């Protein structure tokens, strides 16, 4: 009985540790995403200004940002999904 309880508690400890590590890594990823969001927003604002679409461009700028971010993320998903262990 003692060995079974010890084994179950060891598994619980490992699962807890794995979940905490996953949550911390996700939090770091969120911080990175928020920083890059500002960079992408600034770059797209410059691009929109270069195209001369500044009049009423808030919606256009957000649309372009959404498109660029979606494109970059989809490409990133395709690239990094190849490294996923099966």
Region for 55 from its dihedrals, namely left if φ exceeds 0, alpha if ψ lies in -120 to 50, beta otherwise: beta
- pLDDT value at residue 57: 59
Three-state SS annotation for 22-54: HHHHHHHHHHHHHHHHHHHHHHHHHHHHHHCCC
Distance separating alpha carbons of residues 61 and 7, to the nearest angstrom: 56
pTM listed for this prediction = 0.53
Cα radius of gyration (the chain): 22
Query: What digits encode the pLDDT tens for the residues 5-60?
Result: 666 677 888 888 888 998 998 999 899 888 888 887 788 778 777 877 665 557 77
Question: Collapsing DSSP states into helix, strand and coil, what is residue 84?
Answer: coil
């Amino acid at each position: 009985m003692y060995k079974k309880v010890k084994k179950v508690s060891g598994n619980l400890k490992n699962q807890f540790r794995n979940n905490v590590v996953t949550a911390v890594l996700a939090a770091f990823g969120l911080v990175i995403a928020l920083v890059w969001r500002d960079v992408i927003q600034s770059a797209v604002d410059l691009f929109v200004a270069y195209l001369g679409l500044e009049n009423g461009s808030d919606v256009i700028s957000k649309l372009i940002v959404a498109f660029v971010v979606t494109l970059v993320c989809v490409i990133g998903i395709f690239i990094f999904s190849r490294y996923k262990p099966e």
